[in-house]
Structure 1
Amino acid sequence: MSNSSESPSFPLQEFLGFTTIHGQGTATASLELDARHHNPNAVAHGSVAFALMDTAMGAAAVSVIPDDHICATIEMHTRFHRGAAHGTLTAIAKVLTTGSRVIQLECKTTDADDRLVASSTASFAVLQPRTS
């Protein structure tokens, strides 16, 4: 697919309040930070950035696999560079390599001032869905 399109949502995405748009081998997920995303120090909890990047990379991975396949995160290495308390967080993911069984990706998350908040690399398994 060459044009960007909105990815289907799922309950965690809706609960956290972020949107995801994907293109061929890329995806962008973003959210407006508010108090529900904060840890006790009044900055976004690391799991929020982690979930944002995992979702962006999943959307990028789905864009390069056959329509009758699914993908799942099998490992993810995340680095947190700075805190963010308010404004928009944006995670941009891109596929690095695509194999028949594993996809390698990277993702960078920035704040509203385009400062690096977190970065990640991950491996996603390419799976055929189970039939009942």
Structure 2
Amino acid sequence: MAVDTGDEGYDAFPLRSFLGFDIDDGVDGEAVATLDVDDRHLNPNGVVHGGVVFTLADTAMGRATLSVLGDGHICASIEVSVRYLRPITGGRLMATARVLRAGRRIVHLEGRVTVDGDDRPAAVFQASFAVLES
């Protein structure tokens, strides 16, 4: 099964399309995902649902992982720890991800989500991704 890890693959990713986020590669081992909050992202309390924040960060961490893998490899999150630090009620979310260590079978990362350019994180993440053959 071929896996498209380029921009077209992410553009065709149905969850990305539904949630409306964008993803950009940084330097190798880094990635940034952004999302402009609207009503579909809010829970009944008027706060961005934690799953939306998680999905944005998980996607950025996956893209950062892909940037350090060789051809013929894909990745999957196998462990993610999240700490939600403050509620998000609107604005532009930015998830940044950075590879801490890339092994042959597991990649370790950290990530954070900020709002509207405020450097204070709204959520922080630690993750491990499995390296798989495509």
Q: Same fold (TM over 0.5)?
A: yes
User: Structure 1 residues 67, 75: closer, same or farther in 2, change over 3 A?
Assistant: same
Secondary structure of the structure 2 residue equivalent to 1:89: strand
User: Does 1:123 pair with 2:128?
Assistant: yes
TM-score normalised over the length of structure 2: 0.89
Aligned equivalent of 2:83: 79
Identity of aligned residues (%): 49
Q: Within 2, Cα distance between the matches of 1:71 and 1:93?
A: 15
Aligned equivalent of 2:15: 12
Q: Within 2, Cα distance between the matches of 1:13 and 1:122?
A: 20
Aligned equivalent of 2:110: 106
Q: Work out the number of aligned pairs and report it.
A: 125
Secondary structure of the structure 2 residue equivalent to 1:83: coil
Secondary structure of the structure 1 residue equivalent to 2:128: strand
The runs of at least 4 consecutive aligned structure 1 residues that moved more than 4 Å come to none
Q: Within 2, Cα distance between the matches of 1:67 and 1:34?
A: 37
Question: Could you tell me whether the CA contact under 8 Å between 1:7 and 1:59 is conserved in 2?
Answer: no
Match of 1:60 among 56, 60, 64: 64
Question: Could you tell me whether the CA contact under 8 Å between 1:31 and 1:89 is conserved in 2?
Answer: yes
Cα RMSD of the aligned pairs, angstroms, is 1.4
Show CA shifts across 1:27-80 (max 9, x none).
Answer: 000000000000111010000100000000000000000121100000000010
Aligned equivalent of 2:33: 29
Question: Could you tell me whether the CA contact under 8 Å between 1:7 and 1:20 is conserved in 2?
Answer: no
1:113 CA drift (Å): 4.6
1:6 CA drift (Å): 5.0
Question: Could you tell me whether the CA contact under 8 Å between 1:111 and 1:117 is conserved in 2?
Answer: yes
User: Structure 1 residues 25, 113: closer, same or farther in 2, change over 3 A?
Assistant: closer
Gaps of 5+ in 1: none
Aligned equivalent of 1:42: 46
